[in-house]
Amino acid sequence: MRKLPFKKRSLLFAPMEGVTDEPYRIAIERAFPEWDYLCTDFLRVPTVGAFSNQKLINHYGQKVLKTPDLRKKTGFQILTSYRAQTEEMVKQINEIPEIEHLDLNLGCPSKKVNAHKGGAYLLSEMKELREIIQIIRKNFDRTFTVKIRIGYKDTDRFTDSLKLFEDEGVEAITIHGRTRDQLYRGVANWDFIKEAVNTVSVPIIGNGDVWTVQDIDKMFEYCGCDSIMLGRGALKTPWLASLYYQYQDRLDELDDFTLLQERRTYVQNYFDELEREYKKEENKNVRILNRFKSFSRYIFDDFENAEALRSSFLRASSLDHFKDLLYGI
């Protein structure tokens, strides 16, 4: 019996620090509902002290908590380390029955996170990793998954980690095809995703260098993975799931002209929905503008004269100026 909250061959919008907060996720769900699943950015388990239940609920999202259709498409991600208050916090999360899926971040490459022995660092410490997995599995009685890289400094423990997750009752493994030390350099190695599919019975979710609708098909075909999670690819093309489900059976129709026309509509819709949600949280347009500029670093790559276009948005002097540029593309 399938224990995951999404169907096989789903497209998942990756958890991203500083991006996938509740307003962003709600905007994505409204603009591009074809995404099968979304996830919170990670909440770091404290080493000392504890969070209030309200802090946990706010991270997940008040509206998400109260909206069944949003809830069934939303996972809650945490990041922890060996000495953190993992047991206490997982017990707290388990007492919020609406949170049906907990994901552990074992892939974060951040220098600060890894210096504190969290994120991908734990893939180098099998004993500590097993204890953490056991603690979470013992104290969370609903869906529990992990998101990993293929190793910390190297891939020597990759197979061991897969077996560990399978043995300890993890219900799916998302694999980014790079080590922590690679950061985002080079090309993600999908061979490890394929190897994982053939090594364990746990559903494997592929991640890394999926940029186009064609890449989605290539990863499914090459790796045989259960589903696909997109991070930077989703930031660059937030409407990618919409394109994929619209054109997956007729990719030959997805020519440059069609993409250009779709892109203009999609990018305007994207920022409109983000503004709508951010204005519920922010009373200063400059903060919204700064977030819009950060997304502009990714989203115009496929437009004609991308560098000049991106530069104009980054130089926008106000939110109104940004929107004028948006409707002039």
Report the pLDDT value the prediction gives residue 76, as an integer from 0 to 100.
98
Report the pLDDT value the prediction gives residue 178, as an integer from 0 to 100.
95
User: Identity (one letter) of the amino acid at 194?
Assistant: K
Question: Which residues partner with 174 through β-bridges?
Answer: 147, 205
- 3-state secondary structure labels for all residues of the chain: CCCCCCCCCCEEECCCCCCCCHHHHHHHHHHCCCCCEEECCCEECCCCCCCCHHHHHHHHCHHHHHCHHHHCCEEEEEECECCCCHHHHHHHHHCCCCCCEEEEEECCCCHHHHHCCEHHHHHHCHHHHHHHHHHHHHHCCCEEEEEEECCCCCCCCHHHHHHHHHHCCCCCEEEECCCCCCCCCCCCCCHHHHHHHHHCCCCEEEECCCCCHHHHHHHHHHHCCCEEEECHHHHHCCCHHHHHHHHCCCHHHCCHHHHHHHHHHHHHHHHHHHHHHHHHHCCCHHHHHHHHHHHHHHHCCCCCCHHHHHHHHHCCCCHHHHHHHHCCC
Q: To 10 degrees, what angle do helices 285-299 and 256-281 make? A: 160
Tokens in use for 187? 């090309």
Tens-place pLDDT, residues 226-244:
999 999 999 999 999 999 9
pTM for the complete prediction?
0.95
Report the pLDDT value the prediction gives residue 257, as an integer from 0 to 100.
58
Which residue ranges in the chain fall short of pLDDT 70? 251-260
Question: Residue 205 and residue 75: Cα distance in Å, rounded?
Answer: 14
The strand pair at 101-106 and 74-79 is best described as parallel
Tens-place pLDDT, residues 290-328:
999 999 999 988 788 889 999 999 999 999 999 999 998
